[in-house]
Amino acid sequence: MKVLGWAKTLGSVVRGPGGVRAVRELLRVNVRDSRVPEFTLPDALTDAAGQPVTTPEGWRARRAEILGIFRHEIYGPAPAGPALVATQLSETSALAGRARCRQIRLSASNEPDRPALHLLLYLPADAPAPAPVFLALNFRGNHSIAGDPSIRLSTAWIEEDDAGGVARNRATEAARGVRSRRWPLETILGRGYGLATAYAGDLAPDHPDLWRTGLVGSDIPADGGALSAWAWGLSRLLDQLECEPGVDPGRVALLGHSRLGKAALWAAAQDERFAVVLANASGCMGAALSRRRFGESLAFMNSAFPHWMAPRLHAYSRKEDALPVDQHQLLTLVAPRPLCISGAEGDRWSDPRGEFLALREASAVYRLLGSPGLDADEWPGSERPILGHLAHHLRRGSHDITARDWAHFLDFADLHIGPQARQRA
């Protein structure tokens, strides 16, 4: 976290649900590598009975064990429903005819009064075959990713922040395109990819008192959290992409940033249909190792954002060594699919070194399954990207998604699901 943002962060934390307790935990956060304690990670390839896992068949049983622990102790179970019905709202030309823009409402089949999930889908207009697609949730509504006035303006609750365009937690016309810098549509479409996105708040508003009022609503179990709701929604969006003409459902790249990077990893752990997975600056309870106790802490997250995770996780605040798993094991649940972990040098809050170490630890499972592991033993530092089956990218700068990040995401996707990768297959 940058010093220039410290006072503002303190103010927002004080006003947030955690109040003084969250501020206390914020002031305890460690951002010095010299203060990282010694720790021992649980072994992904030793099962609950203490036996080594040495075969791909043995890994399937071990994988089920690890997945069950994350579901019970960390993120909580997935919501049960509701069943969704799709209604296409519009299809228009976009980007001066280079793309088609489709808007689809996914609503509860038997409960028309429930909030709906709105999918925004861009596809290359001249693709010779069904296109690979990046799928990602967004933070501020579909209207925020582009200035196109034909995009439906969200009516859902939206957090007010510096991006502007939100009054009394509702979007105004001024909110159109406020996050377009994070979504370089022309570049993505120009490389032959589609882009699918939906507002996370349609599923569960990111507010501790309102998060059960979205589409998933009362279907979220008492021992669940908002991340499980967002992850559930990503799988439902993939269900819909499997039905959309012009989409290759076997080549969907799941992408998430920050807390939505946590949700993307959890969605990919549960749903093996996602072809490749990219998590950017996902940090605590994302890709970063909890036992490093660096950057955003478990205690701070539980205090400031108590609705994100399973209530059981609160018992582990400042007790990271007692966790039955660590985040390298979450990354193993993506195996053997290609996985990219990325972040920023100035974003110490997300612990980019801890994310790299988790990716390195997950390599053992990838190799067991016959896939390449991470092609590096030492943290490479910034602007030295690693491209491969396991990829890593650290750029200069702060907590964000930039054009530089997208260049790496697209290069990574090209290796595995892009047009040339398809020709090689």
Active site residues: 258, 399
| 263 and 253 Cβ atoms separated by less than 8 Å | no
| 175 and 227 Cβ atoms separated by less than 8 Å | no
352-368 and 56-69 helices, crossing angle to 10°: 140
HSE (CB half, 13 Å, CA atoms) of 289?
A: 20
Return all residues near 267 (Cβ < 8 A) that are at least 6 apart: 230, 231, 232, 234, 235, 254, 274
Q: Computed from CA positions of residues 339, 228, 236, 214, in that sequence, does the dihedral angle turn out positive or negative?
A: negative
Q: Could you tell me the two tokens for 251?
A: 């080549």
Give phi and psi for 280, each to the nearest 5: -110, 120
| 340 and 374 Cβ atoms separated by less than 8 Å | no
- Report the alpha-carbon distance of residue 292 to residue 167 in Å, rounded: 40
- Report the alpha-carbon distance of residue 134 to residue 73 in Å, rounded: 30
